[in-house]
Amino acid sequence: QKEVEQNSGPLSVPEGAIASLNCTYSDRGSQSFFWYRQYSGKSPELIMSIYSNGDQEDGRFTAQLNKASQYVSLLIRDSQPSDSATYLCAVDTGRRALTFGSGTRLQVQP
Protein backbone atom coordinates (compact mmCIF):
# COMPACT_ATOMS: atom_id res chain seq x y z
CA GLN A 1 0.00 0.00 0.00
CA LYS A 2 1.33 3.41 -0.96
CA GLU A 3 1.72 5.87 1.89
CA VAL A 4 -0.19 8.59 0.04
CA GLU A 5 -2.71 7.62 -2.62
CA GLN A 6 -4.48 9.70 -5.22
CA ASN A 7 -6.58 8.82 -8.23
CA SER A 8 -4.47 9.72 -11.26
CA GLY A 9 -7.46 10.98 -13.25
CA PRO A 10 -7.97 12.80 -15.42
CA LEU A 11 -10.83 14.40 -13.56
CA SER A 12 -12.83 16.42 -16.05
CA VAL A 13 -15.25 19.13 -14.88
CA PRO A 14 -17.05 21.91 -16.78
CA GLU A 15 -16.09 25.51 -16.22
CA GLY A 16 -17.86 26.96 -13.19
CA ALA A 17 -18.35 23.58 -11.48
CA ILE A 18 -16.85 22.35 -8.23
CA ALA A 19 -13.83 20.07 -8.62
CA SER A 20 -13.27 17.59 -5.81
CA LEU A 21 -9.89 15.92 -5.43
CA ASN A 22 -9.20 13.26 -2.86
CA CYS A 23 -6.19 11.82 -1.12
CA THR A 24 -5.81 9.02 1.41
CA TYR A 25 -2.82 8.31 3.61
CA SER A 26 -1.71 5.30 5.59
CA ASP A 27 0.20 6.71 8.58
CA ARG A 28 -2.21 7.59 11.40
CA GLY A 29 0.49 9.69 13.04
CA SER A 30 0.62 12.17 10.17
CA GLN A 31 0.16 15.73 11.36
CA SER A 32 0.49 18.12 8.42
CA PHE A 33 -1.11 18.01 5.00
CA PHE A 34 -0.53 20.06 1.90
CA TRP A 35 -1.89 20.50 -1.60
CA TYR A 36 0.37 21.51 -4.44
CA ARG A 37 -0.58 22.51 -7.98
CA GLN A 38 1.74 21.60 -10.83
CA TYR A 39 1.28 22.90 -14.33
CA SER A 40 2.75 20.82 -17.13
CA GLY A 41 6.51 21.32 -17.32
CA LYS A 42 6.59 23.47 -14.19
CA SER A 43 7.48 22.93 -10.55
CA PRO A 44 4.97 22.18 -7.76
CA GLU A 45 3.44 25.25 -6.13
CA LEU A 46 1.94 25.19 -2.64
CA ILE A 47 -1.73 26.18 -2.61
CA MET A 48 -3.15 24.90 0.68
CA SER A 49 -2.01 23.65 4.07
CA ILE A 50 -4.19 21.98 6.71
CA TYR A 51 -3.24 20.69 10.14
CA SER A 52 -6.46 19.92 12.03
CA ASN A 53 -9.75 18.19 11.30
CA GLY A 54 -12.29 20.22 9.41
CA ASP A 55 -12.13 22.75 6.61
CA GLN A 56 -9.56 25.34 5.66
CA GLU A 57 -10.65 27.89 3.08
CA ASP A 58 -8.61 30.22 0.91
CA GLY A 59 -10.49 31.97 -1.86
CA ARG A 60 -11.93 29.37 -4.23
CA PHE A 61 -9.98 26.57 -2.56
CA THR A 62 -11.11 24.53 0.44
CA ALA A 63 -9.02 21.79 2.01
CA GLN A 64 -10.82 19.24 4.16
CA LEU A 65 -9.17 16.88 6.63
CA ASN A 66 -10.61 13.82 8.34
CA LYS A 67 -7.94 12.15 10.43
CA ALA A 68 -10.22 9.36 11.65
CA SER A 69 -10.82 8.25 8.07
CA GLN A 70 -7.31 9.23 6.97
CA TYR A 71 -8.27 11.33 4.02
CA VAL A 72 -7.73 14.85 2.89
CA SER A 73 -9.55 16.52 0.03
CA LEU A 74 -9.34 19.69 -2.01
CA LEU A 75 -12.41 21.46 -3.37
CA ILE A 76 -12.07 24.04 -6.10
CA ARG A 77 -15.18 26.18 -6.51
CA ASP A 78 -16.07 27.96 -9.74
CA SER A 79 -13.42 25.97 -11.62
CA GLN A 80 -11.64 27.83 -14.38
CA PRO A 81 -9.67 26.50 -17.38
CA SER A 82 -6.59 27.99 -15.70
CA ASP A 83 -7.11 25.47 -12.87
CA SER A 84 -6.26 22.65 -15.29
CA ALA A 85 -3.15 21.10 -13.78
CA THR A 86 -1.96 18.15 -11.72
CA TYR A 87 -2.73 18.42 -8.02
CA LEU A 88 -0.32 16.74 -5.63
CA CYS A 89 -1.22 15.76 -2.08
CA ALA A 90 1.69 15.83 0.38
CA VAL A 91 1.76 14.48 3.92
CA ASP A 92 4.18 14.88 6.78
CA THR A 93 4.57 11.28 7.92
CA GLY A 94 7.16 12.17 10.55
CA ARG A 95 10.05 11.06 8.37
CA ARG A 96 11.50 14.56 8.15
CA ALA A 97 10.43 15.16 4.54
CA LEU A 98 7.05 15.35 2.91
CA THR A 99 5.69 12.25 1.19
CA PHE A 100 3.84 12.97 -2.03
CA GLY A 101 1.06 11.20 -3.84
CA SER A 102 1.39 10.66 -7.56
CA GLY A 103 -1.10 13.42 -8.31
CA THR A 104 -4.52 13.86 -9.89
CA ARG A 105 -4.77 15.53 -13.28
CA LEU A 106 -7.64 18.01 -13.45
CA GLN A 107 -9.10 19.19 -16.74
CA VAL A 108 -11.57 22.09 -16.68
CA GLN A 109 -13.58 22.20 -19.89
CA PRO A 110 -14.54 25.69 -21.19
Partner 1 sequence: NAGVTQTPKFQVLKTGQSMTLQCAQDMNHNSMYWYRQDPGMGLRLIYYSASEGTTDKGEVPNGYNVSRLNKREFSLRLESAAPSQTSVYFCASSEGVGVAAFFGQGTRLTVV
Task: By CB under 8 A, tell whether 98 contacts partner 1.
Answer: yes
Q: Which is nearer to partner 1, 20 or 32 (CB)?
A: 32
Could you tell me which residues come within 8 angstroms of residue 82 by beta carbon, excluding any fewer than 6 positions away? 108
Distance of CA 6 to the CA centre of its chain: 8
Task: By CB under 8 A, tell whether 24 contacts partner 1.
Answer: no
Among 45, 55, 58, 78, interactor with partner 1 by CB under 8 A? 45
Pairing type for strands 104-109 and 11-14 reads parallel
Task: By CB under 8 A, tell whether 8 contacts partner 1.
Answer: yes
Instruction: Tell me the C-alpha distance between 25 and 3, whole Å.
Output: 5
Per CB under 8 A, residues contacting partner 1 are 4, 8, 31-32, 34, 42-46, 49, 88, 90, 92, 94, 96-103
